[in-house]
Amino acid sequence: MTRTTHDRVYDGRVSIIQPAQGFRAGTDSLLLAAGLSAEMTGTALEIGCGAGGALLPAAYRLQNTRFTGLEIDADMAALARRGVTENQFEARVDVVDGDAGSIHKDWQNQFDSVFSNPPFFAPGTIQAPAEGKEQAYLGNIELKDWLNAMLFALRPKGTFLLVHRAAELARILAIIERQTGEITVQPVHAYPGADAKRVLVRARKGLRSGPMRLLEPLYLYQAKGGEQTEWARAMQSDGVGLGW
């Protein structure tokens, strides 16, 4: 039986049950949750929700939204369901077994928001990840197919939100630019002077393509090896959104 830990975010307000070893939710998950607008209502889908590292904080932040998490790994999906119960989100959070390659046809144009932190690498492109991290880092679905699955489930004028490697930004934009408008990119750096490691990409389905907005960088730390920035502390401790 896989050993698990009960971890808490937002100063203990949200509990996440996840494997003690292997892939564990961290900053990327909280960035994804923080990227969702505080005014969001309706329905939201996370594709690849894992143990709920973004899904559960998002449900805490956005209490007028109904969430669905889709997860291919049955063990991780079971942990996400335990997290739903632990946080008393049963009335508005569901976890469904499946992945981006098996989106049900009835889900077409069904969600007001779709968000995701897809696997970052294709098999054979990097050194083999540690045991338990394969599903999180090695995508068995091409990025194009993953993003198209997100857009398939998203209703017209709905909000698309992605956190990914900054190095993949050009490829992401090439995939979504003809299907979305109001594209906004938020680069995230570890500290001033460091290259961006992550980007959040937000867009709206079906709107006329226009100029992309590239926002000022956000920094997690004030300097290399230094203290967290004020916004990073607020995001991790209080669930403060990005405000974009």
Residue 123 in this model has a pLDDT that exceeds 50? no
Ranking 10-19, 29-38, 139-148, 213-222 by mean pLDDT, the lowest is: 139-148
pLDDT (tens digit per residue) in 193-223: 999 999 999 999 999 888 999 999 999 999 9
Question: For residue 188, what are the β-bridge partners?
Answer: 198, 218
pLDDT (tens digit per residue) in 33-55: 999 999 999 999 999 999 999 99
Name the residue with higher pLDDT: 3 or 55. Answer: 55
Question: For residue 107, what are the β-bridge partners?
Answer: none
Cα(199)–Cα(204) distance, integer angstroms: 17
% residues pLDDT > 70 (the chain)? 91
Contact 151, 204 (CB under 8 A): no
Contact 219, 31 (CB under 8 A): no
Contact 113, 154 (CB under 8 A): yes
Contact 112, 43 (CB under 8 A): yes
Per-residue H/E/C for 221-238: ECCCCCCECHHHHHHHHH
% residues pLDDT > 90 (the chain)? 82
Q: What average pLDDT does the segment 4-12 reach?
A: 95
Cα(91)–Cα(71) distance, integer angstroms: 19
The separation between the first and the last C-alpha atoms of the chain, rounded to the nearest angstrom, is 42
Strands (E), the chain: 4-9, 14-19, 42-47, 65-71, 93-97, 111-116, 154-165, 180-189, 196-205, 213-214, 218-219
Cα→Cα distances 130→14, 24, 41, 137, Å:
27, 12, 38, 10
Residue type, 104: H
Residue 136 in this model has a pLDDT that exceeds 90? no
Token duo for residue 172: 């992401």
Residue 135 in this model has a pLDDT that exceeds 50? no
Residue 121 in this model has a pLDDT that exceeds 70? no
Distance of CA 26 to the CA centre of its chain: 11
Ranking 9-23, 129-143, 149-163, 206-220 by mean pLDDT, the lowest is: 129-143
Query: Among candidates 240, 244, 243, 184, which has minimal Cα distance to 30?
Result: 240
Q: What average pLDDT does the segment 71-100 reach?
A: 96
Q: What average pLDDT does the segment 93-113 reach?
A: 94
Q: What is the mean pLDDT of the chain?
A: 91
Q: What average pLDDT does the segment 45-67 reach?
A: 97
- What pLDDT, on the 0 to 100 scale, is given for residue 210? 86
Token duo for residue 195: 């290259």
pTM: 0.90
